[in-house]
Structure 1
């Protein structure tokens, strides 16, 4: 390590200490209640905080860190600073990638915005539950579990996918000539699922089965987890299972397996239409949830929704936010995540790893 690098690291460390002492980064760090090992990936270990590099404006400066953009006194009276949590990897250049998002939020909201980096999704989830940040993007399952744990979150927006869809559906797949026609027919069936913690390819369909009065352990002939939804679908195609669980956008060309999802994966791999049909599909489930704590003043929440929703139309000069969602956002409500919320009781393992809001549901 060169002397210059060591000096920079020392300077950043001193800035962190000053910010913590002054309460800029959120004051004392409350700990979320522990559940099973892995719930937050860290037990009692506090979440890793990496203040955003670059200038961070404070309320008494009167203007944002973007020259010429005055803060709104009325909003400052409601909230001195908006703390936004993100999963970022400084070594991968994520600071530079997300910098336009902070700048656009600060310019549009006319509030000081502090971005706080976390090393993985479970720590980001923990930070939002504990009140260390005011607002953060979570996967659908991470939001649902956090909401079951604290009842303190309000989903604001969800990013669009490249095909224009604002969400996805969990699906049950059977052979085209299968006599099975509905979920209630699955008593005595052999069912193939995705991994045990898969939201679309296991948890949501099993919750739907339970709503039909079927108990998986009691009423199914077999319930076998596979490495992914594609492997589960292959079990049906081989005749090793009667039903598989997966996911689909239910948008686009049916003959090509729709635009995204398990059937699309089969089509792209095999180059032909899948020999499966959809027995059942869940209500639409939004993509990732950009969620805020309910303690964030409602006018600020509304301003965030109004600001970021503009990107869905591609107008209004707010292209910088597309660094976070290249295809824009759509407003969402808690009821939109009902199929996923139904699968969490507050004691399940939390998601791990980096958040990729538009990746296929896992």
Structure 2
């Protein structure tokens, strides 16, 4: 039966093995300390190899037209990562998501803060990044769904909307409308084909009024589908309908998309395991332990970080063409 030691006898720091090796003319205590010290420093040197190789840990963010300002606002986050990783950390700000995706695929950064569609594009382009955490909202949700809302006396499913007018906002986030149209087509309702009609509105208030006034048979909106359903859930189009004085019982959700995560924080897949372990411990605790650092990188989503999985973004890859450089990446 073997001993329960984790390492080979020749590398153990137990003095029993030194005695068995015949080293008795030295002080057992002194020699043991010397051997253990050598092993310790060797392991530290090995652990620091990836830090030395990187030189600096680069965090990619989208800064818009004010790159310096964006980097300055993220300074508390940079300091938190620098302390946790025990190495220099730099903010790599780009003007837009396509530029950030390019930096990721060209190995110019180790860490990226991405929209869900931008992450899907990065992953499809090189499969070189993996999600660590996603931002969550103050209502406890870490994703939302696109939904089709109809009147309670209207169609009960998407197929019932064939030949009818369906409203939607002209501008949506993270490819939400595109995803809804794609999935609805797979469910028997292709709103880009006649006689179906997709009516686009510029303002949310116009969209809600169109449903309330019967101008459209249904609308494409979004919802967390979390919280009290009698109040329209925690956030989203149903909640907005309730806020306008409408009775939630007058409406119903007849279709919902797959969940769409909020912003994702991802790292290079080949990043050293120690760095990933540090970040997986540091990031979920940041909202409570260092709220200033969290707010500096996630000023919108005030619920902290939760673990993210690659499978959460698979549905968004459907929106990407073969040439991901032409993909509709949300700005």
The equivalent of 2:327 in structure 1 is 348
Specify whether residues 266 and 92 from structure 1 end up closer, same or farther in structure 2 by C-alpha distance, changes over 3 A only.
Answer: farther
The equivalent of 1:141 in structure 2 is 117
Q: Residues of 1 paired with 2:207 and 2:126: CA distance?
A: 34
Query: Could you tell me which of 178, 181, 184 is aligned with 2:156?
Result: 181
The equivalent of 2:294 in structure 1 is 322
**Aligned-residue CA RMSD in angstroms?**
2.9
Q: Residues of 2 paired with 1:348 and 1:214: CA distance?
A: 23
Matches within 5 A, 1:73-222: 73-76=48-51, 79-88=54-63, 93-178=69-154, 180-195=155-170, 198-199=173-174, 201-218=176-193, 221-222=196-197
Contact (CA 8 Å) 1:75, 1:111: kept in 2 or not? no
**Shift in Å at residue 141 of structure 1?**
2.1
DSSP 3-state at the match of 1:131: coil
Matches within 5 A, 1:243-258: 243-258=218-233
**Shift in Å at residue 230 of structure 1?**
5.0
**Shift in Å at residue 86 of structure 1?**
1.7
Q: Residues of 1 paired with 2:167 and 2:91: CA distance?
A: 41
Structure with the greater alpha carbon radius of gyration: 2
Contact (CA 8 Å) 2:67, 2:95: kept in 1 or not? no
**Shift in Å at residue 74 of structure 1?**
5.0
Superimposed CA distance per residue, residues 58-114 of structure 1 (whole angstroms, 9 cap, x where no aligned partner): xxxxxxxxxxxxxx6254256432110123365885444321101100111222211
Specify whether residues 243 and 150 from structure 1 end up closer, same or farther in structure 2 by C-alpha distance, changes over 3 A only.
Answer: farther
Query: Could you tell me which of 339, 343, 349 is aligned with 2:315?
Result: 339
**Shift in Å at residue 320 of structure 1?**
4.3
Contact (CA 8 Å) 2:67, 2:93: kept in 1 or not? no
TM-score by length of 1: 0.67
Q: Residues of 2 paired with 1:91 and 1:212: CA distance?
A: 43
Contact (CA 8 Å) 2:319, 2:327: kept in 1 or not? no
Contact (CA 8 Å) 1:81, 1:113: kept in 2 or not? yes
Q: Residues of 2 paired with 1:164 and 1:133: CA distance?
A: 30
Contact (CA 8 Å) 2:175, 2:328: kept in 1 or not? no
Q: Residues of 1 paired with 2:202 and 2:78: CA distance?
A: 37
Contact (CA 8 Å) 2:145, 2:260: kept in 1 or not? yes
The equivalent of 1:225 in structure 2 is 200
**Which structure shows the higher helix fraction?**
2
Unaligned runs of 5+ in 2: 1-46
TM-score by length of 2: 0.73
Q: Residues of 1 paired with 2:303 and 2:238: CA distance?
A: 23
Superimposed CA distance per residue, residues 208-244 of structure 1 (whole angstroms, 9 cap, x where no aligned partner): 1233254333365212222255543432222222121
**Shift in Å at residue 203 of structure 1?**
1.4
Q: Residues of 1 paired with 2:257 and 2:277: CA distance?
A: 29
Aligned length: 278
DSSP 3-state at the match of 2:233: coil
Q: Residues of 2 paired with 1:91 and 1:339: CA distance?
A: 31
Unaligned runs of 5+ in 1: 1-71, 353-362
